[in-house]
Each structure stands twice: as C-alpha cells, then as structure tokens.
Homo-oligomer: A and B are copies of this chain.
Amino acid sequence: MNHPVHLATLKKPLPASLIAVLSLIFADRFSTVQAVREHHGRDESSYAPMPPDAVIFAQSSEEVAAAVKLCSAHDVPVIAYGSGTSLEGHLLAVQGGVSIDLSLMDKIVALHPEDLTATVQAGVKRKQLNLEIKDNGLFFPIDPGADASLGGMAATRASGTNAVRYGTMRDNTLALTVVTADGRIIKTGTRARKSSAGYDLTRVFVGSEGTLGIITEVTVKLYPLPEAISAAVCSFGSAGDAVNAVIQTIQMGVPVARVEFLDENSVKAINAYDKMNLPEKPLLLFEFHGTPASVEEQAQLVQSIADEHGASGFEWASWPEDRSRLWAARHNAFFALLQMRPGSRSISTDCCVPISRLAECILDTKADCEKHGIVYSIIGHVGDGNFHVLMLVDPDHADEIALAEQVNHDMVSRAIAMDGTCTGEHGVGLHKMPFLIEEHGEGAIDTMRAIKHALDPKNIMNPGKIVDW
C-alpha cells in the first residue's frame, strides 16, 4: 500500500555531525544498518516500510533526553519505538529521522503490591509485567492483541478484551515519565489514585502517539487476581442476536470482565488454525471475575439473557486450561484469518459506537464486505461498542486495496454518524488521519494542533501523525 508521496519528500539526510555525536554516545547501540532501519520503519499495518535514517537503542530516560536534545538542535525527527505492533502506520518515518528503540528499557522500576501500583520502563511488555506480579496475587488487565510494550500501549491509548470491566490505558495510567521535545524529563503525576492538581498531563500524553513527547516510564494500576474466574461460550443464529444479548447484559449492569464477539468467519478461521470444533456461527465469549458465588450468579444471569436471544451451545469453561485455550484462540484470531488466504496482507481497522447502535453498525459493515466480495472477519470488544474488521487483500492488487479502504471509509462515516469514533483503540497513526476533522470538527482539530505546536514547536516528535502541522 502506498502512502502519499508528499510526506516522503520532506525527508532530509541526517547531518554528519549528528551521526558522529550519536555514534560516540551510543556506540554499538546506534545503527544505520539497512535491515535495522527497515525493521524500525514498519508496524503491523499494511503500509510499506518507511525507514528512519538511524536507530538508537536507549537504556534510560536520560539517554532518551540526550538523544532528543541533539536531534532537536538539528531539527531532526525522533520516533519512539516499543514493540513495533501498532496497527495504523504509527511508526513509519514519513519525514525520516531517528528511531529511539526503548526495548532495552525493560525493568520494573517499582512494584507496590500494597498500593496496587507498578512503575515500569516503557519497554516492559504486558506479558512480562503480568509474569512478574503474579506471585503477588496481582494482574494488569489491559491486553491488546499483541504482546505490546507498556510505553507503546500508553502512547496509543490501548485497551483490549478486559476494558469493559477494567477500562483502558487512559483509566489505568496513574503517571508517566516523559521526555519532552526540548529534551527535558518530566513526571506527569503521582501514585495517588486521583488528583485535581492542575492540568491532566498524564492524559495529554496517553494517546498522543509520540507526537508530543516520548514516554519512558509508566505507572499503572494493578488489580488483585480474582478469587474465581469462569468463562462461557455460546453461539447465535445471527450477529444481531449476539450483539443484542451483549447490549442487554451491559444495560442491566452485569459486571462482566470480558465479552467478545466473533463472527462466523472468525470462528471458521480459528477452528482451522487452532484445531477447534466451535459451531461456525456468530459467537460470544464471556469471562466473569469475582468470588465463586458472584461469578456463578453473573454467569447464570448472562446465560438467561443469551437464551432470550436464541443462544445455543452454552458451554462453561471453569478449568484454567479450557479457559486459556479459548482465550488463546481469540488472541490468535488475527493470525488465523491470515491463513485463510495465503500470501495476502490484512488491512485492519476498528471503530467504536454507543452500544445501542452496535448491532446496526456491525451488520451494515458486514453487508458492505459481502457486497464487495472481500475475505474478512469481524471481532469485537462489544461490551464497549468497539469492533475490528480484518480484510485480507492481495498486496499486488490496487483494486482490492481500494475496495477495502472504501469499506473502512464507509464504516468510519457510519460510526461517526452514530455519535461514535473512528478508532476505539488502534489510534490514529496515518490511517485514521483523514477522518479526524469529520469526527471532531475544525475547532477541535485546531485545538489539538495548538497543543502540538505548543509542546513540539519544531515538529520533531513523530511528525506527520495525528494532526497535520
């Protein structure tokens, strides 16, 4: 997929003096090797890579600050890189510059089990964090599909399957350490659970996708591991029935921990990929957290709601192994679908709407995909009104790409018309930029631009993303 050329033409070569000083400081942690640059110029979107001119592997906030100061002095762009798993072109070096890879910053800085908080370096990944806190009886709920870094998750305002109960990175980030565009290191909050002490800098940077500063440490809320967990799966005659069961569950205030929708195409792909035998119909996957009694009660309530909507094959998975298998299959859905059309690439997108409009939005988007003969699947964190469309295209066929982009465009317009948003959790990157004015209006975009200009006056922080300069 090609990106408009005007962005690429803004690239300037790195000044030799900057290369010299960065090499001196970072030694073998500074690289201009083609393969390293290529690796840092792509993400999991379908965009062709746009490599940075150099890559630094930073080990501390101080190193990041030093690199940003030097780049700022030379008006050179800097792009923070975590695990490379963003989905909308966030990492592409559309104006060249230096990629600052934070993956070596993978230490837990401070764990406070008694306060249910952890402070981690930006490169710590979510599975690593969960592994390190498990013995304290704690977990961190935010789980985007990939094993993303906490810094990247904060930068993209990530969420995942647990958001319906535990919220997103917006709600679970207490404080950040950020390197600003002029190379200062600031802290945006404390470990207090709430504060009214001035502007909410934490949430200014959460979701800013590296365009306002580079997140180097993240302080998050943790949760006690639930005493009891159970999962349930059931199938429906139509996507509409499944989604309506979820709507009623949310409206009744049942505190489900997770509720995922998989359309029949997702189920087929999972059956093939994970060797499972799920009925190839629209499916809901529930998880309940609480005491044994409350988990039992929630599940019975949900089962009766599902029954009202014609659910079949309601099955329980109280054993950890069965639960893990189901949720692993859900997390593999992206890769499973890719196998349905070897050689294809996926154009993925997401949107989020008020929950009463969710069934309509999903059904209309499905109809669109069917009409265009696209190989696709729809998966949703439906408790939030959020769903994903994965469309498989032949990367060599521009017409297929154009059709998929048309489906994306129409889905976004539909979501915005329903008072929803063009992305619930992927972020803007390059792919959703064209939709922001439609969603927010010119005045709001001007306000975002004013913040960008104020905090990054030289436009060196991941330039060309979120808002046009």
B419 in contact with A190 (CB, 8 Å): yes
Q: How far is the CA of A426 from the CA of B421 in the complex (A)?
A: 32
Check A159 for interface membership: any CB of B closer than 8 A: yes
Number of A residues, CB within 8 Å of B: 94
Least CB separation from A208: chain B residue = B199
Q: A185-B443, A293-B293 are in contact. Are A384 and B193 (CB under 8 A)?
A: yes
A441 to chain B: which residues have CB within 8 Å? 186-187
List which A148-170 residues lie within 8 A (CB) of chain B.
Answer: 156-159, 163, 167-168, 170
A184 in contact with B443 (CB, 8 Å): yes
A432 to chain B: which residues have CB within 8 Å? 197
Check A297 for interface membership: any CB of B closer than 8 A: yes
Q: A199-B207, A293-B294 are in contact. Are A354 and B440 (CB under 8 A)?
A: no
Q: How far is the CA of A13 from the CA of B325 in the complex (A)?
A: 72
Residue among A193, A208, A422 with most chain B CB within 10 A:
A193
Q: How far is the CA of A446 from the CA of B184 in the complex (A)?
A: 10
- Interchain CB contact (< 8 A) of A199 among B189, B196, B204: B204
Q: How far is the CA of A443 from the CA of B251 in the complex (A)?
A: 44
Check A364 for interface membership: any CB of B closer than 8 A: no
A196 in contact with B226 (CB, 8 Å): no
Check A250 for interface membership: any CB of B closer than 8 A: yes
Min CB–CB distance A174 → chain B (angstroms): 9
Copy number of this protein in the oligomer?
Answer: 2
Q: A114-B356, A190-B439, A453-B454 are in contact. Are A196 and B427 (CB under 8 A)?
A: yes
A453 to chain B: which residues have CB within 8 Å? 454
Q: A114-B356, A419-B192, A439-B190 are in contact. Are A197 and B251 (CB under 8 A)?
A: no
- A–B Cβ pairs within 8 angstroms, 12 of them: A157-B196, A167-B171, A170-B194, A170-B203, A186-B440, A187-B444, A193-B384, A198-B436, A198-B466, A200-B207, A291-B297, A454-B454
- Additional A-B contact list (10), CB under 8 Å, known A201-B448, A204-B447: A115-B355, A184-B443, A185-B443, A189-B421, A190-B421, A192-B386, A196-B427, A224-B251, A290-B294, A291-B297
Residues of A whose CB lies within 8 Å of any CB of B are: 112-117, 156-159, 163, 167-168, 170-171, 180, 184-201, 203-204, 206-208, 212, 223-224, 226, 247, 250-253, 255, 290-291, 293-294, 297, 352-356, 384-386, 415-416, 419-428, 432, 435-436, 439-441, 443-448, 450-455, 466-467
